[in-house]
Amino acid sequence: MPLPRKVEVLVRKIINHGGSVYTLEFEISPAYTRFRPGQFTHLTIEPYRPSDGYWPESRVFSIASPPNADFVRVVYSVKGRYTSRIRDVLGLGSKCWLKLPYGEFIVDSELTTGDVVVLVAGGTGISPFIPFLLDENCGRFEKDVFLFYGMRDPSLVIFDRELELAETNFPSLKIVLFSEKQTTDKRFQIGRLDFKMIWRVIDRHGGNPVFFLSGPPGMIDNFKKSLINIGLSEACIRIDQWE
């Protein structure tokens, strides 16, 4: 596992998705992007001098870009003081510091014991799954993969193009989208992520599932409790710990 390193980065792209959801893309040397799909980074907008040895206030964000690239991408929702400051302070050409990579929320054939991988993402919780789904090395992944992805509004499908590419990487990938807002788009189930519906799909598929849960803390807690209540071992439930 690569050791965490600190690096100053430049903002090269900002996308405002609406609904107070933003994507930030930073220029970075590929020497710093040797992370595992699913890991996260610390981001600080405070002044930092490496010689001080003191890391300032920061926030953590899942890395939503492929490993070994010349950029790092994060997606965030403005909730609270610090993310409001990130929105207000960082513009194109701005500099900030990252400390990465961290985390053990990793999907790969060696670490995943089950034969069915179930990814459940709420809102910006899709982020840690994107590097896995885009990693060409994961094209040899021999397990069946399901992605259940819920959002408030169809316009907040942040990674539409990336999900299309993922279906090329994983011929067995099945994607189910949920929208809380009514839509005529036939790709979507209407309503919040539905545990009973998801479990029916997985149970009907058969096999030994391993669930990866990423999203708001309340969603993660509810899904974890529901999975335990139906008898799934906690060893088969992985969550984004920093959430």
pLDDT (tens, 9 = 90+) of the chain, 243 residues, equals: 678 999 999 999 999 999 999 999 999 999 999 999 999 999 999 999 998 889 999 999 999 999 999 999 999 999 999 999 999 999 999 999 999 999 989 877 555 677 899 999 999 999 999 999 987 766 566 788 999 999 999 988 999 999 999 988 788 899 999 999 999 999 999 999 999 999 999 999 998 999 999 999 999 999 999 999 999 999 999 998 654
Is the distance from CB of 182 to CB of 190 less than 8 angstroms? yes
Is the distance from CB of 102 to CB of 60 less than 8 angstroms? yes
Query: What is the set of domains in the chain, with CATH numbers?
Result: 5-102 (2.40.30.10), 116-239 (3.40.50.80)
> Which helix (DSSP H) or strand (DSSP E) does residue 163 occupy?
helix 160-169
158 torsion bin: left (phi>0), alpha (psi -120 to 50), beta (else):
alpha
Q: What is the pLDDT of residue 107?
A: 77
Tokens of 71: 């950029």
